[in-house]
Every structure is written in C-alpha cells, then in structure tokens.
C-alpha cells in the first residue's frame, strides 16, 4: 500500500473511532456493538501502521480474495453504514427498555400503594 | 445489633432471572433477618416459575416483560427507590449466595463511615482471589488495578452483587449507562467525588441455576468493561467540569 493509502486509511479509522466512541458515550450505540467496532478499528489501524504486518495481511487477503483496490472504498462505506444501522437498533432498543422499566416500576408502585392519591399516575 | 437510623428507609432489591429454585428461600430469609426493610424483586423476564414463586411472598415485584439484563434490573430498582423516597438501596443476588444476616453489619459500616456506596467484598481480607478460576482471576486483578489507577482507591471485589447504595448516587446511576454496575460504575462514581468503600463478607457457592456469564461473555465482558471504564472517566470529568 502507498504512503498516501496508509495515511487515508488511518485517518478514516480515527474518524470511525471518534464517531463510535461518542455514540457509545451518549448511549446511542450499545456498548456490545461498539466494542467490536472500537477494537476492530484499533486492530486495523495497527495493521496499517506496521509495514511488515500490512504486507503479510495484504498478501494473505489478496491470495484469498483478489479484489480491486476500489472495493476497499465500498467496504469503508459499508462499515459506516453498519454503524448507522446499529445506532438505529440501539435507539429502538433503548425505547423498549425504558418502556419495560416504566411498566415494571408502575406495577411495583401499585403493589406498594394500591390506592394512590387522586391525579397520581397509575 | 445495628438498627437503621430513625427515619432512614431501606429497600432491599433482588434482580432475578430464572431463579425459581432459590428465589422464595432468599425472599423468606430477607423477611426473617431484615423485617424493617422493604423488599423489591425485579423479575427480569424469567421464563421459568420465578414469577409464581414470588406470588404471596410479601415482596414487591417489578416485572420486566422481557429480559433486559442485570444492569437494567438494578437500574429499575434504583429508579424505584429514587421515586419512592428510599434513602438506601441494598442489592442482593437471587441465587442465595449472599446471607441477608450480613446486611446489618454492612448498614452499620455504611452509616458509620458516611459512605455513598459500600461493597460487600469477598476478597478484601485474603486479597488472593483463591478458588477463582484462572481467567476470572486475571480479570479481577486487572479491573481492581484499573480502578486503583483511574480512581485512586483499590477495590478488591469489583464484581460483587452485594452493595449498599446511598440516595445521593441514585441520580448519577440512572443518568449514565453501565454494563453490570461493576468496575465501570465504581470508577464513574469515585471520579464524581462519591465515597465508595468495601466491607468483608462471606458468600456460599451457588447450588442452582447458571452464572450470568457465558463462555463468549468471558471474552467480551472485559473488553466492554474496559471501554466503559475509560468512557466513564471521560464522562465523569466532563460532568464535573460542567458543574463547576
């Protein structure tokens, strides 16, 4: 890979890393999904930055899947799309979770106080 | 024997997922040893007879209609305690490993030291993690060291399910997300300035059911906890900066 390719790949990895970490921090990406992206991206950056490992990985992957270099661009786009999809799944899952917790708490409050004050949510 | 300070309301919370074999016994023992505390069982989407075992047990039951996981079950208990005006939340495992009789000593220590969180620690005295499987032992040492490095105080048992949680921490514990309320939650609270302590307890081996950690989670759990621990440090520092 050319030096420009390594720099571009590393920069893209850093952008993905910052985006994913921020999504996890804000609770918009479940940490179970995020951890795969974070450690996967860190591993990919490490491979890019160590020439011998990069050569070995390139040789192995080219032997298995001889693909034009443009397909790497498609993989990167797919990766970003995947993070977006997982974000949407997390948002939906958070809504279900809050609803489940709210129902449980209200049910428990009804047992604790079977006759709430007028106007108090049941 | 220690009795809770007058006017301080305590809630015992037991998160339970498929614990039909042990839950009734645990509930009965809590009622017998801690009659002055209210008891909440969070039934976390159990598919066995846990719900039936809790009927007429005298415990308040919060039913999750689907399984949300341990941390969310604890969070439900924290939310319930906050909304219902409790001063302290005491968490116990549903598998019968924790002896409710030891809670009195924990509460006495919690009050005497004016702590925000007190952990019932299995390893505080021996500090060797003897009897713990090799993989888990490495993890426990790692997270104990990470807590010491990031929060400035070593906690020997970061994965204990027996905790006393004070009212002051209810808000931060529901506003940030945690994996299992373990090392990542402790570091987050300590970085926010809350006082966290440890008190030695003994536990018995679980005789029924399965641990919540599967083979895959043994690989994924340390990575997730490590990530959340580091993010917790950032989040706590940001929160403190905003507050000041």
| pLDDT tens digits, A100-120 | 999 999 999 998 765 556 565
Map out the domains of chain B as residue ranges.
Answer: 10-243
Say whether the ipTM exceeds 0.90.
Answer: no
d(CA B244, CA B242): 6
Q: What percent of chain B has pLDDT over 70?
A: 91
In CATH, the architecture of B10-243 is Alpha-Beta Complex (3.90)
Contacts of A110 in chain B (CB under 8 A): none
Of A4 and B195, more confident: B195
Q: CB-CB: which of B62, B65, B179 is closest to A108?
A: B62
Task: Give the closest-approach CA distance of A110 to chain B in angstroms.
Answer: 9
Map out the domains of chain A as residue ranges.
Answer: 3-111
Taking CA atoms, what residue in A is nearest to B220? A32
Contacts of B63 in chain A (CB under 8 A): 103-104, 107
Residue B9 has pLDDT above 50, yes or no: yes
Contacts of B224 in chain A (CB under 8 A): 31-32, 35
Q: CB-CB: which of A31, A105, A107 is closest to B227?
A: A31
Residue B216 has a pLDDT of: 62
- Range with lowest mean pLDDT among A109-118, B51-60, B143-152: A109-118
Residue B50 has pLDDT above 80, yes or no: yes
* Structure confidence by residue, pLDDT tens digits, A69-83: 667 778 888 889 999
Q: Do A100 and B68 touch (CB under 8 A)?
A: yes
Q: CB-CB: which of B42, B179, B220 is closest to A104?
A: B42
Q: CB-CB: which of A31, A38, A101 is closest to B72?
A: A101
d(CA B84, CA A64): 61
Q: Do A21 and B231 touch (CB under 8 A)?
A: yes
Residue B43 has pLDDT above 90, yes or no: yes
Residue A113 has a pLDDT of: 67
Taking CA atoms, what residue in A is nearest to B61? A108
> In the predicted model, what is the mean pLDDT of residues B118-143?
85
> In the predicted model, what is the mean pLDDT of residues B211-215?
61
Q: What percent of chain A has pLDDT over 90?
A: 49
- Range with lowest mean pLDDT among B11-15, B124-128, B209-213: B209-213
Contacts of A111 in chain B (CB under 8 A): 60-61
Q: Do B65 and A112 touch (CB under 8 A)?
A: no
d(CA B232, CA B191): 9
Residue A64 has a pLDDT of: 63
Longest Cα–Cα distance in chain A: 73
Q: Which residues make Cβ contacts (< 8 Å) with residue B176, sequence separation at least 6?
A: B188, B232, B235
Contacts of A34 in chain B (CB under 8 A): 227
Residue B186 has a pLDDT of: 94
Angle of helix B215-243 versus helix B183-191 axis, rounded to 10: 10
Is residue B97 within 8 Å of B204, Cβ to Cβ?
A: yes
Residue B221 has a pLDDT of: 84
Backbone angles phi, psi at B92, to 5 degrees: -130, 150
Residue A88 has pLDDT above 60, yes or no: yes
Closest alpha carbon to B155 in B165, B164, B168, B144: B144
- Report the mean per-residue pLDDT for chain B: 89
Residue B35 has pLDDT above 80, yes or no: yes
Residue B104 has a pLDDT of: 93
Q: Chain A interface residues facing chain B, Cβ-Cβ under 8 Å? A: 21, 24-25, 27, 31-32, 34-35, 38-39, 96-97, 100-101, 103-105, 107-109, 111-112
Residue B3 has a pLDDT of: 46
Task: Give the closest-approach CA distance of B220 to chain A in angstroms.
Answer: 8
Task: Give the closest-approach CA distance of A98 to chain B in angstroms.
Answer: 9
Contacts of A101 in chain B (CB under 8 A): 64, 68, 72, 75-76, 79
Is residue B168 within 8 Å of B176, Cβ to Cβ?
A: no
Residue A29 has a pLDDT of: 94
Q: Give the 3-state secondary structure of residue A102.
A: helix
Q: What percent of chain B has pLDDT over 90?
A: 67
Is residue B191 within 8 Å of B233, Cβ to Cβ?
A: yes
d(CA B110, CA B108): 5
d(CA B90, CA B11): 6
Tokens coding B158? 């970061």
d(CA A107, CA A98): 14
Residue B2 has a pLDDT of: 42
> In the predicted model, what is the mean pLDDT of residues B180-197?
92
Bridge partners (DSSP) listed for residue A67: none
Residue B1 has a pLDDT of: 41
Residue B42 has pLDDT above 90, yes or no: yes
* Structure confidence by residue, pLDDT tens digits, A7-46: 988 999 999 999 999 999 988 999 989 999 999 999 989 9
Is residue A6 within 8 Å of A27, Cβ to Cβ?
A: no
Q: Do A108 and B66 touch (CB under 8 A)?
A: no
Residue B207 has a pLDDT of: 61
Taking CA atoms, what residue in B is nearest to A22? B231
Bridge partners (DSSP) listed for residue B199: B120
Longest Cα–Cα distance in chain B: 50
pTM reported for the whole predicted model = 0.85
């Amino acid at each position: 890979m050319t030096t420009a390719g390594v720099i571009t790949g590393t920069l893209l990895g850093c952008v993905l890393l910052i985006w994913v970490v921020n999504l996890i921090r804000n609770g918009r990406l479940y940490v179970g999904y995020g951890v795969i992206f974070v450690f996967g991206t860190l591993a990919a950056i490490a491979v890019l930055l160590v020439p011998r490992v990069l050569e070995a990985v390139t040789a192995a992957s080219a032997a298995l899947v001889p693909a034009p270099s443009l397909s790497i661009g498609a993989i990167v786009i797919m990766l970003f799309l995947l993070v977006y999809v997982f974000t949407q799944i997390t948002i939906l899952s958070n809504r279900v979770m809050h609803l489940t917790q709210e129902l449980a708490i209200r049910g428990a409050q009804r047992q604790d106080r079977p006759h709430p004050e007028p106007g108090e949510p049941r | 024997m220690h009795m809770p300070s007058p006017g301080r309301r305590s809630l015992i919370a037991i998160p339970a997922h498929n614990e039909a074999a042990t839950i009734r016994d645990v509930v009965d023992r809590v009622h017998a040893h801690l009659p002055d505390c209210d008891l909440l069982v969070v039934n976390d989407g159990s598919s066995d007879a846990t719900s039936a075992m809790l009927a007429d047990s005298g415990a308040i039951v919060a039913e999750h209609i689907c399984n949300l996981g341990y941390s969310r079950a604890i969070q439900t208990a924290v939310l319930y305690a906050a909304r219902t005006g409790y001063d302290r939340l005491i968490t116990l495992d549903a598998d019968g490993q924790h002896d409710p009789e030891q809670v009195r000593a924990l509460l006495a220590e919690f009050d005497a030291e004016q702590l925000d969180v007190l952990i019932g620690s299995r390893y505080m005295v021996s500090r060797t993690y003897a009897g713990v499987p090799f993989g888990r032992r490495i993890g426990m040492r790692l997270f104990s060291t990470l807590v010491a490095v990031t929060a400035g105080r070593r906690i020997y048992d970061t994965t204990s399910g027996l905790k006393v949680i004070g009212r002051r921490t209810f808000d931060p514990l529901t506003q940030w997300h945690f994996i299992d309320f373990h090392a990542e939650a402790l570091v987050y609270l300590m970085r926010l300035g809350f006082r966290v302590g440890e008190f030695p307890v003994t536990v018995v081996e679980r005789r029924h059911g399965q641990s919540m950690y599967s083979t895959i989670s043994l690989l994924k759990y340390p990575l997730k906890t490590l990530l959340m621990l580091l993010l917790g440090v950032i989040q706590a520092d940001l929160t403190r900066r905003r507050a000041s």
